[in-house]
Amino acid sequence: MYKTNDNNTLNKRNGKSSNNRFIPLVIIFVIIIMSILLLNKKEKLTLNVTNTNIAKFSITPIDENVIAKLKGNNYGFSNNTAWDRFLNAKAMVVGDSTAEGLEAYQILDSISVTWTRGRVIQYMEEDLTDAYSYKPNILILAYGANDLLSWNGNVDGYINAYDRVIRSIKEKFPNIKIGINEILPVSDNALSKNPEYGYREDFNKHLKEFCKKNDITFIENSSLLDNAKDGKKFESDGVHPKPFYYKLWANNMADVMGI
């Protein structure tokens, strides 16, 4: 007569123990504990971001309370309407070191502008990561001086490079409103050192035609440089405008883009 094997006996023969049935419960318990710890950590990180005024490249709309808090931080924006206009419209400037002045002189909040020194248009897609995270309603591009040196008169190559970038932007954001700033003039001294700056008018002409063809707003700013009270329009490099220019520029961009 064969002896009937119970579960414990079978488990022992297979190298198992009846206590193994508790292992899945232990694993589930560990997962629950880890999930709670990660959730608490995420909440702490969210609080830390909130305490830094505005998280750069936030993808959520900025409400009035946050804007009011920013303006109360003693930044000195009492007469700077561009700050509010860009935030309220969720507009963003992407550009080279000239665009840097908008942030450096506190004309726009850092969330409204991103820049890279020395950037040329054929590599500007690297700057768009910030814009794609922020998801602006209005995107304004501000490149040019470096391109004149880089393309050395090859205006067709320059426009083709711009065309590739614009197509990429519109594929991701079909309804986005785009503006492109004209290439600013430079000082006579800068021109004498780098004759490539002399291609500016031809590049602007083709850029303006490109904008018209692609339903893009072309933004002219060179006349703003004439507002230099002491006649000194440029920094010592003869390329970057003096501080007076940036508030005028930001508000002109807002005006032209209907912000």
235 has a pLDDT exceeding 80: yes
Assess if residue 57 is contained within a domain. no
Distance CA 12, CA 1 (A): 22
Assess if residue 147 is contained within a domain. yes
Same domain, 84 and 45: no
Tokens 């969210």 locate to 46
**What integer pLDDT is reported at residue 81 of this predicted model?**
87
Assess if residue 43 is contained within a domain. yes
Total domains in the fold of the chain: 2
Percentage of residues of the chain with pLDDT beyond 90: 62
Distance CA 34, CA 225 (A): 59
pLDDT tier at 71, thresholds 50, 70, 90: very low
207 has a pLDDT exceeding 60: yes
Domain hosting residue 27, numbered range: 7-50
Stretch among 9-13, 197-201, 249-253 having the lowest mean pLDDT: 9-13
Assess if residue 2 is contained within a domain. no
Q: What is the dihedral of CA 64, 70, 72, 73, to 10 degrees?
A: 170
Distance CA 135, CA 57 (A): 8
Encoded amino acid at 100, one letter:
E
**What integer pLDDT is reported at residue 23 of this predicted model?**
62
pLDDT tier at 15, thresholds 50, 70, 90: very low
Is residue 69 within 8 Å of residue 236, measured between CB atoms?
no
**What integer pLDDT is reported at residue 107 of this predicted model?**
95
**What integer pLDDT is reported at residue 191 of this predicted model?**
97
Nearest to 137 by CA among 174, 109, 166: 174
17 has a pLDDT exceeding 50: no
DSSP string, 105-153: TTSS-GGGEEE-TT--GGGGGGGHHHHHHH--SEEEEE--HHHHHHHTT
Stretch among 11-15, 115-119, 161-165, 189-193 having the lowest mean pLDDT: 11-15
**What integer pLDDT is reported at residue 236 of this predicted model?**
93
User: Which tokens in the block code for residue 119?
Assistant: 């950037």
Same domain, 106 and 14: no
Assess if residue 1 is contained within a domain. no
Question: Is residue 158 classed exposed, middle or buried when 0-12, 13-18 and 19+ CB atoms within 10 A define those classes?
Answer: buried
89 has a pLDDT exceeding 50: yes
